[in-house]
Amino acid sequence: MIRMRTDFFSESLGMGTSMVVLMPQSAAGIGMEGADDAGSSSAVPVLYLLHGLSDDCTIWERRTSIERYATEKGIAVVMPEVRRSFYCDEEVGEKYWTFVAEELPQLVASTFRVSTAREDTFVAGLSMGGFGAFKLGLNHPERYAAAASLSGAIDPAALELGENRGNLAQRVWGGRDLTGTADDLLGLLGAAEPHRLPALFLDCGTEDELITQNHRFIAAAQQHGVDLRSRLRPGAHTWEFWDQGIQDVLDWLPLRS
């Protein structure tokens, strides 16, 4: 696996930013087992892997063995930097939704040997990144074959994002009601044509403080006939939970053979 920390200028953000990219290669290395076609000249499938509120673009590889897991699947992994934006165009700040939904995929496609086909494009994330993954999948179902949320902050309007979190709710959304917007995941479920949606995977710990939000998402999916694979298992908001979760997500992805 080729690992690149890439620094670049983002037009939508109006500033420099970073991402970490993992690209398959034919030589997996001692003690590593790579996919059979990792050295092919053809474009490879890609997973956009999103970080949480307190993290950055390096966190997944520092807290899990994502490089090893991705090597075995022959899949590229793109881990962008979005700071504490909730994957939104911030009311007071930068346009991170425009960045991650529009600019980033175009930049990745023009720079790396990844497939741009819907059936080869996936997104996953934890906590704030779980929200971001479902937001991308539900708002742009034509682009993603699958979206996975691990311990997702499914309903940001229900979170305490006041002074103890730097007044994030005011900075990101300006106090707006999120009902009916691109950030209203439950509303998007209700408005969607279920057969057009990507495959959805939800994983949350039963001891996680976000479990109630995830229960509501599961109930909404059932109500609206949306196919959702959900798993509520013992665990909390921890990297031990997410390290296992991302392995299961990679096993679940509908990778073409």
Q: Which helix (H) or strand (E) holds 244?
A: helix 239-252
Residue 219 lies in a domain: yes
The verdict on residue 188 lying in a domain is: yes
Is 152 part of any domain?
yes
- pLDDT at position 162 is 60
pLDDT tens readout for residues 197-227 = 999 999 999 999 999 999 999 999 999 999 9
Question: How far is the C-alpha of 124 from the C-alpha of 150, rounded, in Å?
Answer: 8
Tell me phi and psi for residue 158, to 5 degrees.
-90, 0
Name the residue type at position 109. A
With CA atoms as reference, report the closest residue to 48 among 72, 69, 27, 79: 79
For residue 198, the 8-state DSSP code is: P
Kind plus residue range of the DSSP H or E element containing 218: helix 211-223
Q: Is 35 within 8 Å of 74 (Cβ atoms)?
A: yes
Residue 96, in any domain of the structure: yes
Whether the CB-CB separation of 85 and 96 falls below 8 Å is answered with yes
Q: Are 201 and 227 in contact (CB under 8 A)?
A: no
Classify residue 13: in a domain, yes or no: yes
How many helices (H) and strands (E) are present in the chain, helices listed first?
A: 9, 8
DSSP secondary structure string, 91-134?
SSS-BHHHIIIIIHHHHHHHHSSB--SGGGEEEEEETHHHHHHH
How far is the C-alpha of 20 from the C-alpha of 18, rounded, in Å? 7
Estimate to the nearest angstrom the gap between the alpha carbon of 197 and the chain centroid.
16
Instruction: Show the low-confidence residues of the chain (pLDDT under 50).
Output: none
Q: Residue 185's domain is classified under what CATH number? A: 3.40.50.1820
Closest of 35, 122, 38 to residue 77, by C-alpha: 122
Q: 3-state class of 219 per DSSP?
A: helix
Cβ neighbours of residue 63 under 8 Å, at least 6 residues apart?
239, 242, 243
Spatial separation of the C-alpha atoms in residues 88 and 152, rounded to whole Å? 15
Q: Residue 205 is part of which domain span? A: 2-252
Q: Which two tokens stand for residue 255?
A: 């990778």
> What SS3 class is residue 85?
coil
CB 61 within 8 A of CB 67: yes
Say if 257 falls within a structural domain. Answer: no
Whole-model pTM? 0.95
Q: Is residue 73, in this structure, part of any structural domain at all?
A: yes
> How many domains does the chain divide into?
1
